Every structure is written in structure tokens, then in C-alpha cells.
Amino acid sequence: MFKPVQANHNFIEMEHKWLRYWYEEGIVDKYLHKNDNSDKYFSFLDGPITANNPMGVHHAWGRTYKDLWPKFYNLLGFRQRFQNGFDCQGLWVEVEVEKELGLKSKKDIENLVSGDRFASIAKFVDLCKKRVYRFSKIQTEQSKRLGYFADWQHSYYTMSDENNYMIWTFLKKCYENGWIYKGQESVPWCPRCQTAISQHEILTEDYKEVVHEAIYIKFKLKTQMSNVKTKEKDNKPDEYLLVWTTTPWTIPANIAITLDEDFDYSLVEVKSGERYWLATNLVKNVLGDDVKQIVKTVKGKELIGLKYEGPFDHLPAVSKVAKEYPHNFHTVVATDKKILPISLEEGTGLVHTAVSAGTEDYKLGKKLGLPMIPVIDDEANYLDGLGEFSFKNAKKNPRLILDYMEKNGFAYKIHNYKHRYPACWRCKTELVWKVAEEWYIAMDKPSNLKLKTQMSKLNKMTLRERMIAVAKRIKWMPEFGLQRELDWLKNMDDWLISKKNRYWGLSLPIYECKHCGHFTVIGSKEELKEKAVEGWDKFEGHSPHKPYIDLVKIKCEKCGKVVFRIEDVGNPWLDAGIVPYSTITENNQGEPLYKIDKEKWQKWFPADFITESFPGQFKNWFYALIAMSTVMENEPPFKRVLGFGTLLGEDGRPMHKSWGNAIEFNEGADKIGVDVMRWMYARQNPSENMLFGYKKADEVRRQFYLILWNVYKFFIDYVNLDKPKFNFQVREGKTKVSLKNLKLNILDKWILSRFVFLVEFVEQSLKNFDARGAALEIERFVSDLSTWYIRQSRGRVWVNSNDKDDKEAFYNTIYYILVNLSIILSPFIPFVSEEMYKNLTDRESVHLEFWPEVEKEFYDKNLEEEMEKARRIVESGHAKRKSLGVKVRMPLSTLTIETEVNPKLIREEIWPIILSELNVKNIVVNQDFRYPKTEVKVSEEELKKEGELRELIRRIQAKRKEMGLKPNQPIRVTVPKEFQPFKEEIKRKVVASNITFGESLIVEI
Ligand SMILES: [Zn+2]
Ligand SMILES: [Zn+2]
């Protein structure tokens, strides 16, 4: 006897019931250790989730994959680590803690404990840690709700000592190779966070659409172009270079004006009589009606080398540079198209170039040897030496410059301009560019080390080249992933690894001597202890974070002076990139195996599989993993990556609270149900963005989940009435339903063939990391099971049949399928598969089982093809009936159809199914084929009676349903007199205890 299935089964309650069971009864623990003695390893490496907020439904997509494959490999008997990770350190946490505390700036943080900077920083760092613990707890609970089984007690945290010290080891190796250097660059900078935003961190989604005032600036030429050519003197009007910029605050930093040598440039006289140079193609665009005449047109290269005056030449900071670099100060230069392509769509074709205040400007300046004028400090205030502008904020007061430009006649036109402008990815403040001293890992420098033997081929290779070689050894899914990664690897700059003015992060182990300039990198806690000359006692017992780590001082190797650690913290991607080295430990605890038992570590390295959302990760996690593993071992950190797209609202827009299309995870889980949610993710094409919402969830529920459930319910409803025998065995921990000695009919054989194929197909697909392929095939199977197998088998159950052997064949077939189907569904939809499996088998849990070993001999390709043909004939038959206007419940003597299917290819045994489905006595296909061979003759009268009887029974069954009766609950019926001859048949089929005959139909209990 199986537990009956309620008509109004509550799926959400069911999910909570199993969650309690799994954790209270230790099922998850048993699952984690089920294959501890296996010698097959499946190494999954988790990309850490940022423990800074509750998780969203977009996280649930990746986390479904992160649970699906471990569950699958657990069924296959592989040993695994099941380790989840949390990303902990970095600006994102600081920003949230600042918000919570209502802090506005660095000064506030450093005064958290009034007047005590050290205690303030200690407290702030501690609050950051606490925030991480708080949200990692919430995310853990949410992940459990998702049905995600992992070693939740031993998740890794990137803030752990082990992780931080392993990054030190990496940085030390970089140092030994000669790749770590300090550089001065113009970097994107957040004036609120007061820190550089590295190139990796600026994603397209961090641009916001804003309106700024843009300006057309007049730069007066010192030498007039027309005079250069004609050698005439001073008898022509002034000429100006007309230059456009959307960032007027950078004008004081102007060094050069850049043009494209191959473009045409024209000198245009406007109505005021002034003459402007600009790209010929843009004259109309910029000057419009103001054009009086075009004086002349030349190739860009003829303007190269011209000198001009700037609006701020009188300011000390500017004139100082003018004096130091007279030959290339305020000069017209030619661009390098690869660095700074010049547009003919907007602007003037003459580009304001401020080497200190722009990435491209900086690169071009570096190439051409142009000097820079630093203009702003960490908070974007103008520096000393900029006259009336000094100490005023460049970004907050854009009018500061514009008013000056207007008042002094340097502006041709100022207008509002809408554009996409980069913002800080955490606090959304608009970025500026400023000159900063930062630490980098060099990508294009061969190593200082001369490796021997088999590694010697690396000697001539730069880190970039080594990384490219490593990236190519990884299997990327989808395949375009490799190209995307290579594009990044080929074009990225040196890795900016430092962050200034921050507190919560990796303490970069760089010790720079203020006295002689020498710097060294410390590679481990042990090394620091050994080299410490001061402060170790005060540091010991603390994590390697600010402020305690900074108490430790060492001695300069060169000059012997006492040296401090640099103030900076590390780029947060260092934290996540090192995890293949730092987090693989014995039982997910303690010291990294990489450090203490390399041989054991190698069993898990490289990881077999990682999976993350593609956008962003090419520049972030994938990049950091590859960079760090290349330096550590010159090995790929993972063998295969499955990337997936972005989750959008079902309206196709990004999810946004204010747009009403965002779904909070807990709410989504309890409204949609986690099984359905997981199925949505599993069936999604990962290389495409996913539309997610309640309507989409309803579709999936209707089109798959409820169909599956109804098949199961049908089985349970009738099996409990018919009580057939089952042959369920457990051998060596593996379960098996035996189908020996059963009188299987053609439908049973067909569905078994379909099922055997399915199990193999799903196994193969999952081994190829194709969840979608597997899910869609399961959907096809469940549809076949419901709409063909069960539909054709309704007549075989309970009161509809007296054939005991046939019943046994039916029930055993469907039992075999449901038991094994629950197992193969368990990685996808862990809750309903548990519900089904436990009721069917009374075993401990579906999640402690093994992948089914199915009887391959059931696979019958011919039978499947013939059944497919039969179904097409049935389709044609139904179409024919429709065209004749005769409902299916009306039996017909003969149906004649035309079809492309060759009926002779369908075996004899299948034809009765076709007849019964079409409710006909005879069928003639394509004129010459008929079944049965000898025509069955029935009179019109008999057919009519049969149809009416069928209709009557249908009506009684409908009433039973309306009254909410169980299948075996007897009724009393009164039926019209003319059905008297069918008394016994009616009684049996509608489960009536009493039948009387009268005028019309009455059904009662
Ligand atoms: Zn910021
Ligand atoms: Zn020194």
C-alpha cells in the first residue's frame, strides 16, 4: 500500500517537509560522505558568491548548476568535496558598512573610535567581517532552500588566513619573476571611495546615462597655419583649433590636441569673423548656419606640430610643465588609431588630450612621450598650483571651469549632452581619472628566473603569453568563451593589484623602503615572522588584515633601515583567483593541501568543472584564476567551464525593484516552488539570456511538472486499488525493479524502450554538461508517458479490466519507470523526486541512491519508429474525424485516411491501439491497406448504442469527479431504461453499488 496522493497536493509544503527531513535526519551528511571511499574523483570548484546581500533569483540559476552536477556525480559514485565559497573582502562590503553607520568619508572611518585611528580601523574591519558572516548565513539558508546540498559547515571564506597567505605566496612568485612593479598612471578613480577602479571592474552595466554640459573650446594657434604656408605676416585674422569635450573639468590638464593625419581638416570663417579649424566632415554638424566661408582645406598631417595657447597657461602648475617640456607642450599631434581612434560622428575631429586624466590619453601620452599635469587629488579637488581653482571640487562644480571659459572667451558653444558615463560599480559615483601610484603585475615582461629542464621553454615567455597558452587548454562552454577570454588576455593592461585608501581587504605583502626605494614581497606568514624586527608579538593571533598586520616591520635588505608594509590593500579578484590553491583541504578544513600534501591536492586539481555567469567573469574570476594558476604551476586551474547568460525579468528588461519585475529569492521560492524554479534553469539554453518570472514559471509547471505529477498520482490512485505484486530488490546498496516473467504488451515494451533510451541519453548529456539537452529529452519522455502510454492504458486498470496478468504487466512497467525516473530526476528537481521515490520504495532517500542500471535489451529502435508512425496515423485519423464533424466518442465502422506514412511498416500488434484511439472498427489507409484484414461488420444500430453507452459512462464519471469522489467510492445511479441490457457493464465501470432504471440520469452516494 502506497501513501495516497491528495488531489490538492501542496507542493510548497512538500518542499519544506523534505528540507526538514534532509537536515534533521542527517540525509545531507550521508549524501556528502556517500562515496568517501571511491577512487573516482569529481572536482567541482565554486566561484565564491559575494556575501554582502541576500541572494537573488539570478544566483539561483548558477547555484542550480552547482548542485545539479554534484548530485549527478554522486549518483555515479564519484567522491567529491561539495565546498561552497563566500567572497568576503573588498570595497563592496566597506561601502555597505559605511552606509549602515552613516559614514561619509575616510575621515569618518578613521574617527569611528573618537581620536583613535588604530582602534577605529580595527573596529571598521571587524564590522566588515561581521557583515560577511551575517550574509553568508542568510545565503546558506537560501541555498539550502534551493535544495542545494553542500558542506555548509565548511564553506570557504576568501577572508580566511589560508586564503590571504596563499595570495602572498602567489605575489612572491610574481616578485621572483620580476613582474611586480610600482607605476604612475592615469587611472579611473572613484572620488567617494577614494580608490582606483581597475580596468576589470568597469563593466558595461556600470555606465550610466547622464547629461553633462559639453563644450566646444577655442584654442588659439600661436602660429597661424596660413602664415606657415605663405610666409606672410600678421595680416590675417586669428585662427583657432575648435575642440570638443564632455569633461570640461579636465581642460586644465590639457597637454596636446590630437588629430587623425588622414582626415581632411578645414579652416572655416564664421559670422563673427573668427576662423576655426575642424574636420571637414564635421563642419556642418558643429557650425551649421554659422558658416560664412570655408577658407581652406588640408590633410590632417599638415597641422601636426602646430603650437597653441591654452586657457590656463598662466596657472603655476601648467606653466611649470610648459617650461619643462617646451618642445611638446600644447602641440598638435597625430593619433595612434589603435589607442585613440578619432570619430567623425561627433566632436570636431580634434581631440582634447589630457595625459593625466584619461585612459586613452595616458596611453597615447606614454607612447608619444608627452608630459602630464596632475590636476586633482583623491577626492577630485583641484590640486595646489591651479590658482582660483585649487582645492575646489572638479566634479561637483562643473560650472567652475565652464563659467571661466565663457567669461574669458574660450568657449565657442556649451550645450547639454547625454552620454554613457562610467560610474563606480559599488557606490555609483561618477568616476574621474587621476594620476596615481599603484602596484601592478607586468604582463609583457619575460621572467627574471631561468627555469631549468622541462620548464625552460617558459623562460622567454611573458606572463601574458603563458596565460594565453593555459587558457587554450581549457574546454570552454559555450565555445565562444575561449575567444572572449583570449580577446581579453591579448588586450588587457598590466594587472593593477593595489587599492589605495581602503581598509577591508588583502594586505598586500609589499614592503617598500622609504629610504633607498628597494621593495620586497613576503610570501607567507612564516616568512614574515622570520623577517619581523618589530611588532610580531602585537600582531600574533590576529588575521592578516589592517590594522594589526601593519604593526609588523622588517628590515630593508639593501640599506638595513626599518620598513613598513605599503598602506594599500589588494584587488579583490586576487582573493577569488587563488581558491584552487587555498581551499582544497582535508575535509574542507585546515591547511591547504597544496602546502602540506601536494600529491593529495593533485587529486582535486585542476578542477573538473566550474560554472559561472559569463558577463564580467572573463575579466574577473576566469581571468584571476588563469593568471594565478599560471604563475603558481603553469597549469589550467580548471578543465572545463560552463558559462551562462544573464537573468532578465520576463518582460525582457533587467530585474529592477522599481520596475516591478524583480523577484526576491525567498518569495520566488515559496511562490513558484523550488523544483519548478530549478527546472526552468535546467531547461534554459545557457548561452542565451534567460527571461524569468511568474508567468514563465506557470508554463513550466503546466507543461512538465504537473504532467509528471499526474502520472504519478494516476499510478498511486489505482495501484492502491488493484494491489499488484512488485519485484523490488536491493543488492549491494543498489535498488532494482525486476520485470522478469511479466506479460508485457506492445505499449509496455514501447515505453520501456523509450525509458531505457532516456536514461542513457540523460547520462550522456550530463556527462557533456548539457543540462538543457537532458531536460528537454525528459520532457519529451514524460509527455509520451502521459499522453500515449497512460492514456492507452487506462482500460487496463481496476474496474476497467479483469486481466490480472495484464494489470501486473502495466503496474510493474510504470513502477519500474517511476522508481528509476525519480532517481534520474533527483539532481534536477530534488523535492518531488524524493516525494515520489520514498513513497514508491520506502527507502531512506533518493539522494543516497545510485544511477539506475537499465536493461539495454529493452531498447527497440524499430518499435519506437513504428509507434511514431502509428501516432502519425492517429493524428491523420483525428483530423479526418474533425473534417467529417464526428466526435471521437461516436464509434465508426470504418475510417478511411490518406497519409504519407507507410502503414505496412507498422507491426500487427500496434493496430488495435490505433483502432481504439480512433474509436473505429476498421481502418483503411491509403486505399490499399486495411485493418483488420477481415472487415468487422457492425450495424448502424449497434454503433449508435455503443456510442450512447460510452457517452453515458463519461457523464457518470464526470459527475463522480464533480462530487469529489474517490475512484473506489460506490455510488447509486439511475439511468435511462434503454441501457438495461448493459446493466452489469455500467455497474462495474462506474463503481455503482446500486443501479435503477428510470427516465433520466441521477448520480448519488
Ligand atoms: Zn565609489
Ligand atoms: Zn632601504
Q: What is the DSSP string of 376-403?
A: B-TTSBBPTTSGGGTTSBTTT-THHHHH
Lowest-confidence range among 146-155, 197-206, 846-855? 197-206
Distance linking the first and last C-alpha atoms of the chain: 26
pLDDT, tens only, 256-286 = 999 999 999 999 999 999 999 999 999 999 9
Q: What is the mean pLDDT of residues 133-160?
A: 98
- Coil vs helix vs strand at 184: strand
pLDDT band at 234 (very low <50, low <70, confident <90, very high): low
Q: How many Å lie between the centroid of ligand 1 and the Cα of residue 705?
A: 45
- DSSP assignment of 651-697 equals TSSBP-GGGT---BHHHHHHHH-HHHHHHHHHHS-TTS-EEESHHHH
**Could you give the residue ranges of the DSSP H alpha helices within 500-633?**
525-531, 536-539, 572-577, 579-582, 593-596, 598-604, 621-633
pLDDT band at 968 (very low <50, low <70, confident <90, very high): confident
Ligand closest to Cα of 94 equals 1
C-alpha distances out from residue 407 to 222, 400, 401, 403, Å: 21, 11, 10, 6
Q: Quickly count: other Cβ atoms within 10 Å of residue 353's Cβ.
A: 28
pLDDT, tens only, 871-921 = 999 999 999 999 999 989 899 999 999 999 999 999 999 999 999 999 999
Buried b / exposed e over 512-538, threshold 16 CB at 10 Å, is bbeeeeebbbbbebebbeebbeebbee
Answer for the pair 87, 49: CB distance below 8 angstroms, yes or no.
yes
**Residues facing 996 on adjacent strands:** 974
Q: How many Å lie between the centroid of ligand 2 and the Cα of residue 555?
A: 8
Q: How many Å lie between the centroid of ligand 1 and the Cα of residue 504?
A: 14
147 has a pLDDT exceeding 90: yes
Q: How many Å lie between the centroid of ligand 2 and the Cα of residue 562?
A: 8
- Coil vs helix vs strand at 35: coil
pLDDT band at 552 (very low <50, low <70, confident <90, very high): very high
Question: How far is C-alpha 414 from the chain's CA centre?
Answer: 43
Q: How many Å lie between the centroid of ligand 2 and the Cα of residue 934?
A: 108
Q: How many Å lie between the centroid of ligand 1 and the Cα of residue 657?
A: 22
Q: Give the C-alpha separation, 639 to 242, whole Å.
A: 54
pLDDT, tens only, 115-134 = 999 999 999 999 999 999 99
Torsion over CA: 16, 21, 22, 26 (sign): positive
State the helix-helix crossing angle for 830-841 and 11-24, rounded to 10 degrees.
80
657 has a pLDDT exceeding 90: no
Position 153 scores a pLDDT of: 97
Q: What is the mean pLDDT of residues 659-673?
A: 93
**Residues facing 184 on adjacent strands:** 437
Ligand closest to Cα of 429 equals 1
Answer for the pair 273, 290: CB distance below 8 angstroms, yes or no.
no
pLDDT band at 232 (very low <50, low <70, confident <90, very high): very low
Q: What is the mean pLDDT of residues 822-845?
A: 97
Q: What is the average pLDDT value for the chain, to the nearest integer?
A: 94
- Coil vs helix vs strand at 617: coil
Ligand closest to Cα of 430 equals 1
Position 493 scores a pLDDT of: 87
pLDDT band at 223 (very low <50, low <70, confident <90, very high): confident
Lowest-confidence range among 102-111, 515-524, 628-637? 102-111
Answer for the pair 146, 16: CB distance below 8 angstroms, yes or no.
no
Ligand closest to Cα of 515 equals 2
Q: How many Å lie between the centroid of ligand 1 and the Cα of residue 507?
A: 20
pLDDT band at 319 (very low <50, low <70, confident <90, very high): very high
pLDDT band at 306 (very low <50, low <70, confident <90, very high): very high
Q: What is the mean pLDDT of residues 856-860?
A: 95
227 has a pLDDT exceeding 60: no
pLDDT band at 193 (very low <50, low <70, confident <90, very high): confident
pLDDT band at 203 (very low <50, low <70, confident <90, very high): low
Ligand closest to Cα of 431 equals 1
DSSP-derived secondary structure letter, 640: E
Position 455 scores a pLDDT of: 72
Position 359 scores a pLDDT of: 87
Answer for the pair 581, 594: CB distance below 8 angstroms, yes or no.
yes
Q: Give the C-alpha separation, 582 to 156, whole Å.
A: 9
Q: Quickly count: other Cβ atoms within 10 Å of residue 989's Cβ.
A: 18
- Nearest in space to 793 (alpha carbons), one of 865, 722, 698: 722
DSSP strand pairing (510-512 vs 519-521):
antiparallel
Answer for the pair 440, 181: CB distance below 8 angstroms, yes or no.
yes
Q: What is the mean pLDDT of residues 637-652?
A: 95
Reported as type and span, the H/E element at residue 748 is helix 746-767
Q: Give the C-alpha separation, 826 to 615, whole Å.
A: 29
C-alpha cell recorded at residue 536: 610580531
pLDDT band at 231 (very low <50, low <70, confident <90, very high): very low
336 has a pLDDT exceeding 90: yes
Q: How many Å lie between the centroid of ligand 1 and the Cα of residue 52?
A: 16
DSSP-derived secondary structure letter, 431: P
Answer for the pair 225, 252: CB distance below 8 angstroms, yes or no.
no
pLDDT band at 205 (very low <50, low <70, confident <90, very high): low
Q: What is the mean pLDDT of residues 372-387?
A: 94
Position 161 scores a pLDDT of: 98
Ligand closest to Cα of 511 equals 2
Q: How many Å lie between the centroid of ligand 2 and the Cα of residue 184?
A: 21
411 has a pLDDT exceeding 50: yes
**Residues facing 216 on adjacent strands:** 244, 413
pLDDT, tens only, 982-1001 = 999 899 889 999 999 998 89
Q: Give the C-alpha separation, 318 to 310, whole Å.
A: 9
pLDDT, tens only, 509-526 = 999 999 999 999 999 999
Answer for the pair 618, 484: CB distance below 8 angstroms, yes or no.
yes
C-alpha cell recorded at residue 410: 574660450
pLDDT, tens only, 496-509 = 999 988 999 999 99
C-alpha distances out from residue 562 to 515, 558, 559, 571, 740, Å: 9, 11, 9, 26, 83
Q: How many Å lie between the centroid of ligand 2 and the Cα of residue 168?
A: 21
- Coil vs helix vs strand at 746: helix
DSSP-derived secondary structure letter, 462: B
Long-range CB contacts for residues 112-119, cutoff 8 Å, separation at least 24: 118/547
Q: Quickly count: other Cβ atoms within 10 Å of residue 124's Cβ.
A: 23
Q: How many Å lie between the centroid of ligand 2 and the Cα of residue 175?
A: 17
pLDDT, tens only, 675-690 = 999 999 999 999 999 9
Q: How many Å lie between the centroid of ligand 2 and the Cα of residue 518?
A: 5
Q: How many Å lie between the centroid of ligand 2 and the Cα of residue 372?
A: 29
Which residues, 6 or more positions from 244, have their beta carbon under 8 angstroms from its beta carbon? 214, 215, 216, 217, 286, 346, 347, 348, 350, 352
pLDDT band at 207 (very low <50, low <70, confident <90, very high): confident
590 has a pLDDT exceeding 60: yes
629 has a pLDDT exceeding 60: yes
Position 902 scores a pLDDT of: 95
C-alpha cell recorded at residue 153: 559547515
Q: Give the C-alpha separation, 712 to 720, whole Å.
A: 12
Ligand closest to Cα of 555 equals 2
- DSSP assignment of 895-939 equals EEE--SS-GGGS-GGGHHHHHHHHTEEEEEETTTEEESSSPPP--
Position 235 scores a pLDDT of: 60
964 has a pLDDT exceeding 80: yes
Q: Using only the alpha carbons of the chain, give its radius of gyration.
A: 38
Position 733 scores a pLDDT of: 85
Ligand closest to Cα of 518 equals 2
DSSP-derived secondary structure letter, 44: B
In the numeric block, the cell 439511475 is attached to 974
C-alpha distances out from residue 204 to 178, 361, 421, 617, 889, Å: 33, 20, 10, 13, 61
**Residues facing 219 on adjacent strands:** 241
- Nearest in space to 401 (alpha carbons), one of 248, 219, 255, 253: 248
Burial class (CB in 10 A: 0-12, 13-18, 19+), 882: exposed
